[in-house]
A and B are shown apart, each in its own frame.
Chain A
Amino acid sequence: MSIEITSLSKSFGHFPAVTDVNLRVDTGEMVAFLGPSGSGKTTLLRIIAGLEFADSGEVFFDGENVSQKSANERKAGFVFQSYALFNHMSIFENIAFGLRVAPRSRRLGKEKIRERVLSLLETIQLSGLESRFPVQLSGGQRQRVAFARALAVEPRVLLLDEPFGALDAKVRRELRGWLTEFHNTTHLTSLFVTHDQEEAFEVANRVVIINRGTVQQVGTPEEVRSAPSNEFVRDFLALD
């Protein structure tokens, strides 16, 4: 699915979080929002998901204006930095949640749900852990469950907020490789937020560099590195 954002602005009180952002993400792309802490990249992602509403500007999914639609109508797969797993539910129920709350007309049967959940567990290499609870898993395992939960409802776009932010360096690298591989096989349009340029350049096809709520530069990792558009980008990427 393609995503288009036109002149999007949002402020919290007097603090402008996102200012006049225009962006187009094509179907199958993997785009990174890269910027320092507090630059507004997470806010931008949340606006796309419908968890936050812009003060002005529009969001289009495949050409359809979804600006006024709530998050449960947009159904963008969202992965939270702190996983946000349902702690009172088993891993199985966590992944099955989106399938269970679907409107009756579109809801899968019990067996189908079971099949889907088990196959997702296989995808994230956690087969056999379905009856565990989130507190019984390590950080990396929890993050993979969060992925599976988002993917269970077959979203047309995947939004990842600092997906590896709370993990240690080793697990981070592994999950990064896993995400790249996943994207290469499914070509699911994906946007992810990070403050780690190594991560952005390794995983993303295109990088959107954001500072103080405005887009500084958009381009492939090579373009951004070889021709930084301004002083901030040069400085932030530590190029000379």
Chain B
Amino acid sequence: MASFIDFRNPPGSDRRADDWIRANSEPIWVRRVLIGILLLFFILFLGMPLLVIFQGALAMGVQTFLTTFTDDNILHSVQITLLVALIAVPSNAAFGVAAAWAVTRYRFTGRALLLALIDLPLWVSPVIGGLIYVLIYGRRGYLGPWLQEHDIRIIFALPGVIMATTFVTFPFVARSLIPLMQAQGCEEEEAALTLGASGFQILRRITLPKIRWGFFYGVILCNARAMGEFGAVSVVSAKVSGMTNTMPLEIERLYNDYLFASAFAVASALSMLALITLVLKSIAEWANERQLVAGQKVLLEATINTTQIHPAA
């Protein structure tokens, strides 16, 4: 019954981990070798590819790089990618909050199933994700005849691309919120309820502010994946340049057509989007951390002050 909450070491604070690292310090040569291996790995597998993309993009000169983005088909692929992200990300954000809310606040039959379903897109290959949609909405799929009768085209058209992307990016927001909301518990929401707040007021004034950084983090991750998705989209898109091609698909087309400079140019643009995402993600993590640390520091000062100034407080 006595649920004592340790405010000074909230879940997620890493004091113990820090101590552990210090207590188990390795000799200096071991650390150097380990760091060396790590660095080598980073350079070979992460750093160099990124550099090569930009090098390849600019190999034929800045002029070629710039003219790439005057090509109608390529511009169209950029538009499609942004449009897909613009629809898939907000839908998954809304769904993610709803799912995380349901899973962490209620115990209901089918809860375990819902949790498993949220993870499903992470478990199956994106290609399979795309194929499932073809099997359901394709010409010979379960809903195919009906869709054809009503002249609705999903597969090999934009709706299919959006749906496949939504499927693949389904788990990210929910996944980043569930552990956070589980750790926070629901006492603040209960308190708001006894003060007369409605469900919507609680969501807007209590729950969302509490999870905002975790939410932001999930949305950024979701966005990165939505813009970069290849497998699922390549199955449901007819790969018609200028029609249903997203940036990753367009890169493949350009590459297969031996238009290396253009392929690298589009790839570098996509990489830039990824890098921007990475910066935003770091800001989100940093802000989250800062909030936590500031809270702890202030708490420490407050404890010292109150014991000095108001010994009776």
Task: Mark A residues whose CB is within 8 Å of B.
Answer: 37-39, 41-42, 49-51, 70-72, 74-78, 80-82, 84-88, 97-98, 101-102, 133, 135-138, 140-141, 146, 149-150, 152-153, 162, 165-166, 170-171, 174, 195
Residue pairs across A and B with CB atoms within 8 Å: the count is 110
- A86-B206, A137-B302, A166-B5 given; A80·B190 CB < 8 A: yes
Tell whether, in the assembled complex, residue B210 and residue A88 are in contact, meaning their CB atoms are under 8 Å apart: yes
Q: Does B295 interact with chain A (Cβ within 8 Å)?
A: yes
> Which A residues are CB-close (under 8 A) to B194?
49-51, 71-72, 74-78, 150
> Which B residues are CB-close (under 8 A) to A153?
195-196
Q: Give bound CA distance, A152 to B191, whole Å.
A: 13
Tell whether, in the assembled complex, residue B313 and residue A101 are in contact, meaning their CB atoms are under 8 Å apart: no
Closest to B294 in A: A135
Option from A85, A97, A133, A141 in Cβ contact (under 8 Å) with B306? A141
Tell whether, in the assembled complex, residue A138 and residue B303 are in contact, meaning their CB atoms are under 8 Å apart: yes
- 19 additional A-B residue pairs with CB within 8 Å, beyond A88-B209, A98-B196, A138-B303: A37-B1, A37-B2, A72-B195, A75-B194, A76-B194, A78-B191, A80-B190, A85-B188, A86-B191, A86-B206, A97-B205, A136-B299, A138-B306, A141-B306, A152-B195, A153-B195, A166-B5, A170-B312, A174-B312
Measured CB to CB, the closest approach of chain B to A10, in angstroms, equals 15
Q: Does B187 interact with chain A (Cβ within 8 Å)?
A: yes
Tell whether, in the assembled complex, residue B188 and residue A86 are in contact, meaning their CB atoms are under 8 Å apart: yes
Q: Give bound CA distance, A235 to B197, whole Å.
A: 43
Tell whether, in the assembled complex, residue A72 and residue B193 are in contact, meaning their CB atoms are under 8 Å apart: yes
29 contacts between A and B (CB under 8 A): A37-B1, A38-B1, A50-B193, A51-B190, A51-B194, A71-B194, A75-B195, A76-B194, A82-B3, A84-B187, A84-B190, A84-B191, A85-B188, A86-B188, A87-B188, A87-B210, A97-B192, A97-B197, A98-B197, A101-B192, A101-B197, A135-B7, A135-B298, A136-B298, A137-B302, A138-B303, A140-B313, A150-B194, A162-B2
Q: Give bound CA distance, A50 to B3, whole Å.
A: 20
Q: Give bound CA distance, A78 to B193, whole Å.
A: 10
Q: Could you tell me which residues of chain B, from 95 to 118, have a CB within 8 Å of some CB in chain A?
A: none
Q: Does B29 interact with chain A (Cβ within 8 Å)?
A: no
**B side interface size, CB within 8 A:** 33
Closest A-B pairs by Cβ, 6 of them:
A98-B195, A84-B187, A78-B194, A84-B191, A101-B197, A37-B1
Task: Mark B residues whose CB is within 8 Å of A.
Answer: 1-5, 7, 187-188, 190-198, 201, 205-206, 209-210, 295-296, 298-299, 301-303, 306-307, 312-313
Q: Which of B7, B210, B307 has the most CB of A within 10 A?
A: B7
> Which A residues are CB-close (under 8 A) to B313?
138, 140-141, 171
Tell whether, in the assembled complex, residue B196 and residue A82 are in contact, meaning their CB atoms are under 8 Å apart: no
Tell whether, in the assembled complex, residue B201 and residue A101 are in contact, meaning their CB atoms are under 8 Å apart: yes
Q: Give bound CA distance, A136 to B301, whole Å.
A: 8
Q: Give bound CA distance, A208 to B152, whole Å.
A: 68
Q: Give bound CA distance, A76 to B190, whole Å.
A: 12
Q: Give bound CA distance, A195 to B4, whole Å.
A: 14
Measured CB to CB, the closest approach of chain B to A118, in angstroms, equals 18
Measured CB to CB, the closest approach of chain B to A172, in angstroms, equals 12
Measured CB to CB, the closest approach of chain B to A168, in angstroms, equals 11
Tell whether, in the assembled complex, residue B190 and residue A135 are in contact, meaning their CB atoms are under 8 Å apart: no
Q: Give bound CA distance, A160 to B7, whole Å.
A: 20
Q: Give bound CA distance, A138 to B301, whole Å.
A: 10
Measured CB to CB, the closest approach of chain B to A143, in angstroms, equals 11
Tell whether, in the assembled complex, residue B187 and residue A133 are in contact, meaning their CB atoms are under 8 Å apart: no
Measured CB to CB, the closest approach of chain B to A121, in angstroms, equals 14
Q: Give bound CA distance, A237 to B298, whole Å.
A: 42
Tell whether, in the assembled complex, residue B2 and residue A70 are in contact, meaning their CB atoms are under 8 Å apart: no
Closest to A146 in B: B191
Tell whether, in the assembled complex, residue A149 and residue B195 are in contact, meaning their CB atoms are under 8 Å apart: yes
Measured CB to CB, the closest approach of chain B to A159, in angstroms, equals 8
Q: Give bound CA distance, A198 to B196, whole Å.
A: 33
